[in-house]
Chains A and B, each alone.
Chain A
Amino acid sequence: MRGQKMSLERKKMMAGYVYIAPWAIGFALFMLYPLVYSLWLSFHEVAGVGNFELTSVGWGNFNKAFVLDTKFIPLFISVIQDAVINTPLILVFSLFISILLNHNIRGRAFFRAAFFLPVLIGSGLAMQQLLYAGVGKDTLVNGIGVPDEVFLYMGPTFSQIVFDMLSRLTVIFWKTGVQILLFLAGLQGISVSLYESARCDGATEWEMFWKITLPLMTPIILLNLVYTCVDSFTDINNRMMVYIKDTAFTNIEMGYASSMGWIYFLFIFLLLVLVFVSTRRLIIYTGEK
């Protein structure tokens, strides 16, 4: 059975494993092992960072997270709340901008460059410095040029609400760079002939958006949805992430931090599974028959 052809096939197969090898090694070392070990840790208490003495506490850490720790649940809910509010806004807004940018307009290169710029600041410390300085607060108000008189007219309570909303929107806007680019790439991928034939049949721009653009964009919307979710959950300014880090390295409760990390991870995992299952029928792939 060891013919020439078999060994050639096998050789090719082996080559496949050679290509995957770096990832497999890296995955085992920097992902799988730590993941399993952190699950192990989450059922233990770590005494001292020096010698890592582990004492089993059973479900104690999880119990602590859900029952004893008064901070964890509210924090968790607020993080989810943020994600639930921000994600649709980011998606709609980035789709809107990318459609505007897809027009044949002057200075398109400039606009595309401009909308990606906040990604360069990232969500890191530079952004934090700018937010401390109050940049987020009045940007949108200045941006759309809302005159002060309007706020004066609205009265203090209501204008405060509007103001808060606008400043929140600003920070959300700055998170849309990558999404705008992905949507743009998707829009460029839609064949022009589809629009032309629709126009011949008398379709309006509005109809074309709902019947052509949106259905064909569903795979990218899903991609962006997943990206936005993951991005918001692993963001450095995410309070959950800060809390877990502080628990582990400031309070030195490494076992407890691990179990919180696992709760958090399982939640994201279930959420994404839910997203995939619920959107399966809504996604339209043109490439497949």
Chain B
Amino acid sequence: MLSNPIGKTKPQKAAAHAQAPAQAQARAAGSKVKALRNHTVLSRIGSKSRWIGLIYRIFVYVILIDLAFVFLYPFIYMMTTSLKQPVDLMNFTIKWIPTSLAWENFYYGMKGLQFLTHFNNSALIAVLSVVGQVLSCSFIAYGFARIKFPGREVLFVLCMFTMIIPPQTIIVPLFMQYKTMGWLDSVLPLIVPSFFGNGLRGALFIFIFRQLFRGLPWELEDAARVDGCGSFRVYWKIIMPLTPPAIVVTTLLSLVWHWNDFFEPSIYLTSEEKFTLPMMLPRLYQSLDTLTGSTFEVFSLPVVMAATFFALFPMLLVYLFLQRYFIQGVERSGLVE
């Protein structure tokens, strides 16, 4: 019985005590008992750590769900509030679920934004900027990542340096410059810099592409070159198809940032019919008043929320489709070496 202490349990331990008459035996048994005790302590810790593990997991879920709620709150709030009637808004017993759904808020929200016109403006600016940034930033990054030439490092540092220049530092000369060029009140100042790798946070996208390009094997490129491929074809036919992660990341971030950008459009665009969708939000009441021909105090928070929803809706839709690729993309884009 004592010969194999491993795996024994408490009653057997008691038995070990009883079956030790001689001192030597007792000592031997004592050490075995110690071993046994150690073992049981260990297994107890083992089961304890399983408990701790379980509690820890529950803790992780509770925190994540709680925080996810905090992060989703603006959307939940936007959605529920946009469906409320003014009466429900005043009613403190109603927190989330309105007594009756006020779909007309969405109608007014859309009308107030003049959704179609301004959606088209926003889409034109955002989509062209994104195309410009993906093309130009990947092209430039290819040069920085894959071709050695004198002054490359210096130029790259200079390029990264542009990231920290606040837009307000150069806005005045840019405004004057565009004025002399006759670009004011057109979409050109918002789109053209993107095609030169200089749009909104262009340096960041050059950085992302460069990181990914640097990690690609050189053999691919060498093989293509031996087969007589020029460097432009290598970039377009071999490197670009290998970089969907960076393309997705750049596309989504660039789209969202251009879409939400308010600073530059509000300076360069002056006539209302050229405004982007977010620019219409502060003008909502004014716009509704002129449309309906009277002052509407009735259009309160729910209508504003409905309009805000419409201003964000296209981005939500795009994110819904790109979300999976986007998060994988960030993980694989070699952003982090």
The contact of A170 among B57, B64, B70, B324, by CB within 8 Å, is: B70
Asked if B83 is an interface residue, CB under 8 A from chain A, the answer is no
Asked if A277 is an interface residue, CB under 8 A from chain B, the answer is no
Task: Judge whether B193 and A30 touch: CB under 8 Å.
Answer: yes
Given contacts A26-B193, A115-B68, A133-B305, contact A185 B330 (CB under 8 A): yes
Chain A interface main SS type? helix
Given contacts A117-B72, A125-B262, contact A22 B166 (CB under 8 A): no
A-B contact count (CB 8 A): 273
Q: Count of B residues near A, CB < 8 Å?
A: 90
Task: Judge whether B327 and A27 touch: CB under 8 Å.
Answer: no
Cβ distance B44 to chain A, nearest Cβ, rounded Å: 18
Chain B interface main SS type? helix
Q: Which residues of B contact A268 (CB under 8 A)?
A: 164, 166
Asked if A76 is an interface residue, CB under 8 A from chain B, the answer is no
Cβ distance B138 to chain A, nearest Cβ, rounded Å: 10
Given contacts A34-B170, A125-B282, contact A19 B147 (CB under 8 A): yes
Q: Count of A residues near B, CB < 8 Å?
A: 95
Task: Judge whether B278 and A125 touch: CB under 8 Å.
Answer: yes
Cβ distance B268 to chain A, nearest Cβ, rounded Å: 11
A12 vs B315: C-alpha distance when bound (angstroms): 41
Contact with B along A33-67 (1 / 0, CB 8 A): 11101100100000000001000000000000000
Q: Quick one: closest B residue to A268, CB to CB?
A: B164
Interface residues of B (CB under 8 A from A): 57, 60-61, 63-64, 66-75, 77-78, 81, 136, 139-140, 142-144, 147-150, 152, 155, 158-159, 162-177, 193, 195-198, 202, 206, 231-232, 235, 253, 256-257, 259-263, 267, 278-279, 281-282, 301, 304-305, 308, 311-312, 315-316, 319, 323-324, 326-327, 330-331, 333, 335-337
Closest 7 CB pairs of A and B: A19-B143, A26-B196, A122-B260, A16-B149, A261-B169, A124-B260, A16-B147
Interface residues of A (CB under 8 A from B): 12-13, 15-20, 22-27, 29-31, 33-35, 37-38, 41, 52, 97, 100-101, 103, 105, 109-130, 133, 135, 139-140, 142-145, 170, 173-174, 178, 181-182, 184-186, 188-189, 219-220, 223, 230, 233-234, 236, 240-241, 244-245, 248-249, 254, 257-258, 261-262, 264-265, 268-269, 272, 285, 287
